Amino acid sequence: MKRSKMIKIDQENNGDHIKLALYARVSTDAQAEEGYSIDFQKEKLTAYAKSMPTTPESIEYYIDDGYSGGSLERPQMQKMILDAEKHDITHVIVYKLDRLSRSQKDTLHLIEDIFIPNGIAFISISESFNTATPFGRAVIGILSVFAQLERENIYERTRNGMQKRVEDGYWMGGGIVPFGYDYDQNQGILVKNKDAETVEQIYNLYLKGYSMQRIANIFNLKYDRLVSQILKRKSNTGVIIYKGKEYQGRHEPIISKEIYDKAMLAMQERSGKSQIGSNYLLTGLLVCGKCGAKMRYMKWGNVIKLICYSRVSTGRDYLIKDKNCDNKAIEAKTIEDIVINDIFKITANIIHNEEQASGISSTASALESRLSECNKKLERLYVLFSESNGDDDDTLLAKIKSLKQEKDNLQKQIEDEKTLVLLSDERMRKRNELENLESMWPNMTMDERRITLKALIKAIMITDDSVKIEYNF
């Protein structure tokens, strides 16, 4: 696992060795038309660099054209981060804060975890501040909140609009149009095309017992899994699936729901049981550290290697992030060994930490005994208060109030203790599972291993010969 060493350098003591990183970003054509074009940003950034009191030793442009500010997974952003950690730059300059990121979390991460520890001053021209000053470091947090708020508002409006369209039966647009349909932008719906007949025939042949590979050969489809995708696509019945829910679409169905259900039942019967579908250990977890595309397994002679989808001619243009990506292909076995060994080390550390934390002893029983005694005292006081002639009312009421407060405190302590016990039990269960992972690994099936890794790992980012593992815990 790749680990970075952060070295703190005084930002205000860079001397004359000023190395500028000028960063510009635009996500859409519409945004460019509104005044944030790459050329406009470069012009402003260059003018600012030339106006600096000390002539920079070097100036490098980092340009992400067509990338959202909601994520740091941008090619030039990642390159700038690497250069920052190598101390190849002393200043990062943007035209506006939201060009760096629209995420408050990401903005603060860049400034507090990347720029400041590596002695890099961050400057925003429009907001007129830089992090080399105490005031600038204070203001950055405030401004990033507004950038985050704008992003969330945009997302909320977009999400609500898409939800309403789907509920009304309109196709969402974007992405891949299902085979057998065209997307009519004017109407906002799917329209059957000449391939609709092929889709219908695929269902008929499959229900007659033809294999997916045989069907693929008949219709000259490149892969048999394309047949599987067509068969499983419920939009063929006239519905729209959005966020796991089904909505009645406005488009004409190619096949009936009855035929679809028969095909799914036949598929289930032929498969026998559910399969994950890949013969490779890390499928679905691999990400190119340079362009952000997925990575795939590919056979090179007698060796299996991992290669960025941007560098593979698969016919899947939607998987390509950067056609010029130069990330190296790397032997799959090397990466798999690194991941497995790191998993074993990580789980061993978790086990050690859990052993340290497992000494929680439950006192719930003792607390409940005290609560029972408190309730008995309260009952006696209530009886005394009811029988009182009024002389001792104030005293009795004070005692009742004190005991009620004690009762409330005890109840809260009991609930807290029970929660701790439950958490402790859950930690122990997970500890036992992790403790046996390394010893169980040789006897686990490939499916079991993949399921385990997907539960533990969020993503594996590969950049040339380096590996960064992002865990789910």
310 and 393 part of one domain: no
Q: What is the DSSP letter of 65?
A: E
Residue 236 lies in a domain: yes
464 and 328 part of one domain: yes
25 and 129 part of one domain: yes
402 and 466 part of one domain: no
Annotated catalytic residue 211: no
CATH number, position 130 = 3.40.50.1390
- pLDDT tens sequence across 47-98: 999 988 888 889 999 999 888 888 899 999 999 999 999 999 999 999 988 8
130 and 251 part of one domain: no
Number of domains in the chain: 4
pTM greater than the 0.95 cutoff: no
Residue 224 has which token pair? Answer: 């048999």
Which residue from 345, 361, 362 is spatially nearest to 353, judged by alpha carbons?
345
Domain of 304, in residue numbers: 286-356+439-471
**Judging by beta carbons within 10 Å of its beta carbon (0-12, 13-18, 19+), is residue 427 exposed, middle or buried?**
middle
CA distances from 91 to 83, 197, 364, 464 (A): 11, 60, 57, 26
> Where does the pLDDT of residue 240 fall: very low under 50, low under 70, confident under 90, or very high at 90 and above?
confident
pLDDT of residue 425: 53
User: Residue 8 — φ and ψ, nearest 5°?
Assistant: -85, 125
CA-CA distance, 316 to 310, in Å (whole number)?
9
DSSP of 405-462: HHHHHHHHHHHHHHHHHHHHHHHHHHHHHHHTHHHHGGGS-HHHHHHHHHHHEEEEEE
- 349-377 burial code (b ≥16 CB/10 A, e <16): ebbeebeeeeeeeeeeeebeebbeebeee
Ranges 156-160, 288-292, 314-318, 397-401: which has the least confidence: 156-160
Neighbours of 437 (CB within 10 A): 17
pLDDT of residue 1: 40
346 and 372 part of one domain: no
CA-CA distance, 351 to 343, in Å (whole number)?
12
Q: Give the amino acid at 332.
A: A
| Mean pLDDT, residues 418-438 | 58
> Where does the pLDDT of residue 276 fall: very low under 50, low under 70, confident under 90, or very high at 90 and above?
very low
CA-CA distance, 178 to 231, in Å (whole number)?
11
240 and 137 part of one domain: no
244 and 301 part of one domain: no
Beta pairing class for 466-471 and 19-26: unpaired
**Of the listed 27, 144, 235, 310, which one is catalytic?**
27
